[in-house]
Structure 1
Amino acid sequence: MISSHGMAYLEKLNRYLVKLPEEERIDAVREIESHISEGIANGQPEAMILSRLGDPLKLAKAYRSEHIMGLKGVKSFKDVLTLIGFYCTTGLLSVIVIPVLAVFAYGFGFCTVLTLLAGVLRTFGATWINMNIGPGLEIPSEYSMIFSLVVGAIIGGIAYLSYKYLRKYMVFLSAQYRRSLPGNHSMRA
């Protein structure tokens, strides 16, 4: 039988999971309730079980992380902002790393498109587009496309690497949270 202290823990967890869809929130609370009940039935003190589960806020973040990483792909810019917003709340390092990588990934990606577009437009006679590599060193218009491809590849490479490492960092954070969920080997120690 779960004590009032255990029930208070479950209520806190339920409140912290408010951003999950209702069905997932209910399943998560039931899973933790079952985990506590099984531990008590096996003779473990409830205080020890709750101690192993840790802070209900951290446990709720683990469930939210599972939900977010389980989404079937990022379908919109809002989904991207949701991912970034959630993972920015995971710690001080994340507040720095995630926005920097996100700005590099999306900003440099946008600049890649603009660079390639400028090369095409300048090649076909848009004289108002300047391509200088230094004071008094302008790229001739017939080399505009080659120049924009080289510069675009460099900028696009930075965007790609930033996006790749942003995803890796978020997967790493998700794995860290996953370790705190019941049923994982770190919880059974």
Structure 2
Amino acid sequence: MNQSLEKYLTAVDRHLKPLPVSERADIVKEIKSTMLEMESEQMSSKQILDRLGSPKDLAKAYLKDLLVKEKRCSIKRFLILWAFYTAAGFSGMVVIPVLAVIAPVFLLCGIAAPVLSAVKMFDYLLNLQIPFIQNMQIVFYGLIDLNPVAEFFCSAFFGILLFFLGRGAWKLLLLYLEKLSRTKKSLS
């Protein structure tokens, strides 16, 4: 056997680390015997490596086969599933509703604040006297009284900030749900 095939076997062995040493040795011996059979059929080492695929994928296939065989009921499996569903349930009662409310509210406020402030600024500059528009203002606890032009720039800044916070909350919600789904798929 040449050096590239030996490196391949070492890489497969490295990716099979979650398994006990005896099972890893059996799998590596099986792959090695398959390689020797292919060499006896006059296949080059490159053809053998191409046929076997990447070492990581081959190791994953063996790990999945062993996990499928290990689906029997056990206390450890029960505790893992119980812990997952408990954590998912409790975090889902808080994380999902909070992010599902915060994301659209921040997005809408991030868009509405600069738009309404722009309307107020144009009302001020063009002296249109639009009803109730003078009642809209940014309040800094009564310390500073801003004119509508300064309010526009201030609300544009906060609008952009709110928009990106809402967008981040939405992406975080999607990431949380995707991660939860992936974890559940790996457990079942």
- TM-score w.r.t. structure 1 length? 0.47
- Give 1 or 2 for the bigger CA radius of gyration: 2
Structure with greater helix share of residues: 2
Q: If the length of structure 2 is used for normalisation, what is the TM-score? A: 0.47
